[in-house]
Amino acid sequence: MKTPNPIKSLAGQTVVYGMGTIVPRLLNYMLVPVYTRVFHDQATYGQITELYAYIAFLMVLLTYGMETAFFRYAQKGDKQQVFNNAMSAILLTTGIFVLLSLLFYKKFAGWMQYSGNSEYILLVAFIVAFDAITAIPFAMLRKLNQARRFAIIRLVNVAFTLVLNFCAIIYFPIFFSDLAISLLGQETSLVVWVFIANLLASLLSLLMLGSVFRRFKFSIEWEILKPMLRYAWPVLIIGLAGMVNEMLDKVLLKYLLSDKTNAMAELGIYGANYKLGVLMTLFIQMFRYAAEPFFFAEAEKKQAQALFARVMNYFLIAGLIIFLGVTLFLDVFKHFIGEAYRDGLFIVPIILIANLFNGVYYNLAIWYKLTDRTLSGAVIALFGALITIGLNFWLVPIYGYLGAAWTHLITYFLMMTLSYVWGQRVYPVPYQPGRLIFYTVLAFLIYYISLYFKGLQPLSMYLFNTALLVVFLIIVFLIERKSASRINTSGL
C-alpha cells in the first residue's frame, strides 16, 4: 500500500482547517467595511480595535499554554485523561476570572479610561471566559482529526456573529432609533452591540461542543497535571510575549501619541489598515492549526528534518504570493475599508511582511517544542517583547502608527533570525536559507518595480502587475521543479 505523502496530508489538513479559520475570518472581515462606514468617527472603530486587543491578551492568559500541553501529553498517554485534567484546570481559573470581573469591572473600566462605558469591560470578560472554556474542546477535535466538525462549528459561530452585527448596528438603529437612543444614550454606544453579538456567538460555540463535554469528568490528578503545567508555563510566557508583539501597540497608541485628542482616531485608522493584512494573518493561522499536530506526529519518523525544511519552502512561497497579491492590487483591496480610513494604506506592505516573518518564526519554533525546550522559546519571545516595548516607546511618539508598523516588522525579523541560529544548534533542520532569501528578494524587487509604474492607467497597471505576479510564479515553479526532481522517492 502506498504511503501517503505527508506534505499533501498537511496541505489537505490546512485546507480543511482553513474552512474553520480562514473562511470564518473572511466572513468576519466583511464587518470591517461595515464598521468603517457605519462608524464615521474613526475614534469609535479605535475603541473596537483596542478592546479586541485586550481580548487577545486575556485569551492567552486564561488558556496559559494548555492547548500545546494537551497536544504534547495526549500524544504520550490517555488523551481523555489528559483532556479531563486540562479542562478542569481551565474551568477553575476561568471561574476565578469571572468572579473578579463581576466584582471589579467598574474599577477596571476606570483604569482603562472607559468609565462611561463600563459595560464594555463586563462583556469583554464574559467573551473571554466562554472562549477560554472552548479552547481545550476545540483542541480535542483537532487531536481526533475531526477537522470538518471543527470547521462547521467555527463557520456557524461567525455566521451567527455576522447576522447579529448587521441587525444590531444597521437595522436596529434604522427602525428603532428612538429606542436605541433611550437605551444606549448616544450613537457611538452602539459599539456595545458588537460585543453582545460576539458574546452570543461564543455561547453558541460552547453549546455546539456539547458532545465533547459529554465525556468530560472533572478531574485534578496532580501526577498528570503537574508535568502539563511545567510544560505549559513557558508556552504561556511565549503566548503573552507574542500578544505583546501583536497587540501592545493597539493598547499603547492612545497613551504614546502626542495629539491626545486624535489618538483614538489614529488608532481606528491603524486598526482598519492593519486588517488589510488579513489574508496573510489568515494563512498563517490556518497553517498553525494544521501544523502543530502534524509536526508532533512526524517528528519521530525517518527524515523528519528534511520534511520540515520542504514545508518551510512551500510556506514562504505561499506567503510571498499573498504579499504580492495584496500589494500589487492594493487599489482593489483598499475598498474594503471606508474612505475616511484610507490615509493609512502605506503601512499595509509593512504589516504583510511583518506577519510573514512571524509565520516563518512559527515554523522555526518546532525545535524547542519537539525537544521540550519551551523555556528557550520563552526566552526568544521575551526578547521580542522587550524589542516591541522599546521600539513602540521610541518610534510611535515620533512617527505615529507608522512607527508601530515598523516595530512589528523589526521585532519579527529579529525573533526569526535568533530562532534560526539557536534552533540549528539544538535541532538541525536542513533549511535552504539561500533559496528562501532569493525568493524574498525577488518578491521585494517585483513590488518595487510595480511602484515605479504606478502612474499607468488602471487597466494597464492591473495587467502589468498581473504579469509581474506570473513572472514570480514561473521562476519559483522552475526552481522548485528542478529541486523536486533531485529528491529520491523516500516518501517526502
Cβ-contact 379, 421 below 8 angstroms: no
Instruction: Tell me what pLDDT residue 150 has.
Output: 79
**Does the residue 197 lie in any domain?**
yes
**Does the residue 489 lie in any domain?**
no
What region does 39 belong to: left with phi over 0, alpha with psi -120 to 50, or beta? beta
Q: Using one digit for the tens of pLDDT, what is the confidence trace for 181-213? A: 555 554 445 677 788 888 888 898 889 888 888
Higher pLDDT, 343 or 43: 343
Q: Tell me the C-alpha distance between 86 and 138, whole Å.
A: 12
**Does the residue 334 lie in any domain?**
yes
Q: Using one digit for the tens of pLDDT, what is the confidence trace for 341-373? A: 888 899 999 999 999 999 999 888 888 888 878
Q: Tell me the C-alpha distance between 380 and 378, whole Å.
A: 5
Q: Using one digit for the tens of pLDDT, what is the confidence trace for 362-403? A: 888 888 888 878 788 888 888 999 999 999 999 999 998 899
Instruction: Tell me what pLDDT residue 29 has.
Output: 67
Q: Tell me the C-alpha distance between 284 and 243, whole Å.
A: 15
Instruction: Locate 457 and state its grid cell.
Output: 492607467
**Does the residue 185 lie in any domain?**
yes
- Residue 206 sits at the vertex; the CA angle it makes with 201 and 207, to the nearest 5 degrees, is 95
Q: Mean of the pLDDT values across residues 319-340?
A: 89
**Does the residue 356 lie in any domain?**
yes
**Does the residue 490 lie in any domain?**
no
Count of CB atoms within 10 A of residue 100's CB?
A: 12
Share of the chain above pLDDT 90, in %: 25
Residue 489 has pLDDT above 50, yes or no: no
**Does the residue 492 lie in any domain?**
no
Of 215-229, 288-302, 417-431, where does the model show the most confidence? Answer: 417-431
Higher pLDDT, 287 or 131: 131
Give the structural domain span for 347: 6-484
Instruction: Tell me what pLDDT residue 181 has.
Output: 53
Contacts of 92 (CB under 8 A, 6+ apart): none
Q: Tell me the C-alpha distance between 261 and 82, whole Å.
A: 51
Higher pLDDT, 42 or 347: 347
Number of domains the chain is built from: 1
Length of the chain: 492
**Does the residue 491 lie in any domain?**
no
Cβ-contact 448, 323 below 8 angstroms: no
Q: Using one digit for the tens of pLDDT, what is the confidence trace for 255-271? A: 888 776 688 888 888 88
SS (HEC) of the chain: CCCCCHHHHHHHHHHHHHHHHHHHHHHHHCHHHHHHHHCCCHHHHHHHHHHHHHHHHHHHHHHCCHHHHHHHHHCCCCHHHHHHHHHHHHHHHHHHHHHHHHHHHHHHHHHCCCHHHHHHHHHHHHHHHHHHHHHHHHHHHHHCCCHHHHHHHHHHHHHHHHHHHHHHHHHHHHHCHHHHHHHHCCHHHHHHHHHHHHHHHHHHHHHHCHHHHHCCCCCCCHHHHHHHHHHHHHHHHHHHHHHHHHHHHHHHHHHHCCCHHHHHHHHHHHHHHHHHHHHHHHHHHHHHHHHHHHHHHHCCCCCHHHHHHHHHHHHHHHHHHHHHHHHCCHHHHHHHCCHHHHHHHHHHHHHHHHHHHHHHHHHHCHHHHHCCCHHHHHHHHHHHHHHHHHHHHHHHHHHCHHHHHHHHHHHHHHHHHHHHHHHHHHCCCCCCHHHHHHHHHHHHHHHHHHHHCCCCCHHHHHHHHHHHHHHHHHHHHHHHHHHHCCCCCCCC
Contacts of 344 (CB under 8 A, 6+ apart): 269, 270, 272, 273, 401
